[in-house]
Structure 1
């Protein structure tokens, strides 16, 4: 009887240690990220092989699947709820983010055009459907997957270790580094992405405590760039306009596109700083731990 009790206690201790292992932030961060990346690879391949509406439907299905991977990772490994992805007001938050992302790109582009860096000409031969759908599909996939990994898993794992400001700094840096392999990237473009995307999207998440808002901002940003015919982080897609680039790469972003310009860096800071000030005043905990 005593041996059985000791064996039961021993097995219980092993299960407890195993459970503690899966609750380590680095473990659920890596596990969740691998799951999301694998799902993204599969669905992206399928979307690339499909045409028009089929590609959009596959991408929307991917969005649902990777969000479920994120939620299951948080529920069963991190053992926490996901108040950052509430069903209530999801459309409102995503819509507000979308408007901010569009405004951010419109203002940045207008300033560069006014400074003589871009000349935009309507591509009359462009088929609206063949331009609109690819831009939307690409932007949806990137917005959902990247926000779940960077502002979802990574941000909150680091937040658990060292607080929100360390999480903001580290995720912003990693976001910039992740874009260094793109076409036309330089050390400057990596720094620019760190500030204008990493800091801005991180600030948006901290301000709203909501991943839908960050996804909407990210989507509006990328989709509008693609529709304007401007390279999105070095990726060139057909747009509704043909863009002629003139002058310094510091102004235009060069081959990397708008995100390599000093203009959106400055504007992003003008948007992010008030968000961060508001987030600093917000004493509500980030997530439910």
Structure 2
């Protein structure tokens, strides 16, 4: 090779090295760009996940989902006969429980032990027994004090009364407990603890019944104590929604079956109930919940429930990733 070719060869090698470095630089820049884009997407996804993880967000989202399902199925049930309406209500109950479970699992990212299938039958049964005794004892006390007089309604259709009372009680118990003790209670509990959750949900529960027929400020206060605090205390004690649903269901169902207005809503019962004496004793047109009797009786139940709830260890609710 002649010496004349050396400068050209050196220049070519130099140019080749520069071009190679430029290609490597472009490749590195592309890799960095992809990495930064992925990192940014990851941060945005993380922020979005944190948004849905906020208690106020999953509480409202879950409640809206449950209310929408409830509204649609109520419209369907109102257009059918009693047995079909009961089947529609059972279907609705199954779906709103699924909505609740999905909300807690994927949005709140919390365990759903409070509505686990394990011991569900036992907890529901215990709740029904508690609710039945509570209403029956309250009714008997008022009867003994001359507030109620019961007379068997001969013309009533027993099957119709039972089906209607069970359907209405089941619908109210499941929907209201999933929203108040399921979503709202646990969202506030996560933010401010047990006592704040108990106070706030009880107050909201009482206010929610202020628009019922024949409702007054007194009846709303009574509902706050005898129902809101009692059901909240029952949830804290059992750490289980099935128990509270059973209690709430038996409460409403037995009132309806007897013929006592259920929070102002009067349906035909097995008895004709004549009301005598002051509204403070009888609850007046609002029904049993407006009476002083269940308020005092509920306090006798609430105190031991809260005592045992305080001694019971609190299970971890967060899902560990």
Quickly name the TM-score band, shorter chain normalised: over 0.9
Please state how far the C-alpha of 1:52 moved relative to its aligned partner.
Answer: 2.2
Matches of residues 94-113 of structure 1 in structure 2 within 5 Å? 94-113=124-143
Instruction: Tell me if the contact between 1:175 and 1:194 (Cα under 8 Å) persists in the aligned partners.
Output: yes
Separation in structure 1 between the aligned mates of residue 280 and residue 82 of structure 2, nearest angstrom? 36
Structure 1: gaps (5+ residues):
none
For the pair shown, the structure with the greater C-alpha radius of gyration is 2
Name the residue aligned to 2:232.
202
Structure 2: gaps (5+ residues):
1-30
Instruction: Tell me if the contact between 1:172 and 1:194 (Cα under 8 Å) persists in the aligned partners.
Output: yes
Name the residue aligned to 1:82.
112
CA 1:8–1:202: 2 relative to 1, 3 Å: same
Please state how far the C-alpha of 1:287 moved relative to its aligned partner.
Answer: 3.5
RMSD over aligned Cα atoms? 0.9
- Alignment of 1:185 with 2:215, yes or no, is yes
Please state how far the C-alpha of 1:81 moved relative to its aligned partner.
Answer: 1.5
Separation in structure 1 between the aligned mates of residue 76 and residue 173 of structure 2, nearest angstrom? 18
Separation in structure 2 between the aligned mates of residue 282 and residue 217 of structure 1, nearest angstrom? 20
Normalised to the residue count of structure 2, the TM-score between the two structures is 0.89
Instruction: Tell me if the contact between 1:82 and 1:288 (Cα under 8 Å) persists in the aligned partners.
Output: no
Please give the per-residue CA displacement for 1:200-244, whole angstroms capped at 9, x wherever unaligned. Answer: 101111111110000000000000000110000000100000111
Of 134, 145, 163, 1:115 maps to 145
Separation in structure 2 between the aligned mates of residue 116 and residue 144 of structure 1, nearest angstrom? 34
Name the residue aligned to 1:229.
259
- When the two structures are aligned, how many residues end up with a matched partner? 289
Separation in structure 2 between the aligned mates of residue 76 and residue 236 of structure 1, nearest angstrom? 40
Counterpart secondary structure, 1:244: strand
Name the residue aligned to 1:151.
181
Normalised to the residue count of structure 1, the TM-score between the two structures is 0.98
Name the residue aligned to 2:26.
none
